[in-house]
Amino acid sequence: MSDTTEDRCGACTENLTETDALIRSTLDPAEEYKMDNKKRGLALIFNQEHFFWHLRLSVRNGTNADRYNLERRLKNLNFEVRAYDNLKQVEVLDKINEAACENHSDSDCFLLVFLSHGENDHVYSYDGKISVQDITSLFKGDKCKSLVGKPKIFILQACRGDKHDDPVTACDAVDNKLKTNEVVVDASVLHTLPAGADFIMCYSVAEGYYSHRETVNGSWYIQDLCDLLQRYGESHEFTEVLTLVNRKVSMRSVGNSNDRSAIGKKQVPCFASMLTKKLYFRPKQ
């Protein structure tokens, strides 16, 4: 190896070492997102109970309980909540575009919840499906500059596959109207999607499995998420709360269902975090 080559390699090693040292000296594992802005931030809830007949999707009985619980919990965490029921595709996109175009400079973060059926990286509105990646892309830094460096939280209550713990046939029939708290599933597939720095994608179930919903009390995931946000949302770091949600949902099993093969089956949620700091929802002063 020539002296010139050795000099170059030495310089590269020196630069890498200096960079690593700089990262080590500035990287604080306890660093938190700045959450002392005037507002907590906007929270959008899209609640899809009914669907246009040609989509052949079942009515999502129990989802209104999810919406009510989420509204209450998010307001308790100081979010400005806007909830919408059974919007058409163009209406959903209009509401999301409006939110992305707003000025979030005096907000801590942004949150969006979609309660629906899902399929192939899409969630369903009343009359069609919408790409999850199209939704999240509107809040990236080049599109929504006032949210740069701030947490962007997406919560998706939708089925992500065709399995419980073992393959079963999904319940295609419309939920019965009796006040029996039967467990049903939300339809089809939703994949884990990349979003970008400061995003966190929260899924009701791991990829490839059914997401369970009780026809009176609402979905397992939203029930347990709301319960744990009430208990620990203001004191614990957000991903710690989500891990507790994973644990609590995983302890459930199907007890009452028209699909007899579903009895005893389980569910485990998951989240994909691109957060770069710790996230706390401490009370506003």
Q: Which residues are catalytic?
A: 117, 159
What share of residues in the chain are helix, strand, coil (percent, to 5)?
Answer: 30, 20, 45
H/E element holding 69? helix 63-76
- At which residue do the structure tokens 């770069």 appear? 276
Q: How far is Cα 210 from Cα 219, in angstroms, rounded to an integer?
A: 11
Q: How far is Cα 148 from Cα 197, in angstroms, rounded to an integer?
A: 9
Residue 115's closest CA among 222, 233, 232?
222
Contact 66, 219 (CB under 8 A): yes
Which residues of 10-151 form beta strands (DSSP E)? Answer: 39-47, 79-85, 107-115, 118-119, 122-124, 129-131
Q: Which amino acid is at 220?
A: W
Neighbouring residues of 144: CB distance < 8 A, sequence distance ≥ 6:
100, 101, 104, 138
The number of beta carbons lying within 10 Å of the beta carbon of residue 237 is 16
Q: How far is Cα 172 from Cα 182, in angstroms, rounded to an integer?
A: 14
For residue 4, the 8-state DSSP code is: H
Neighbouring residues of 27: CB distance < 8 A, sequence distance ≥ 6:
none
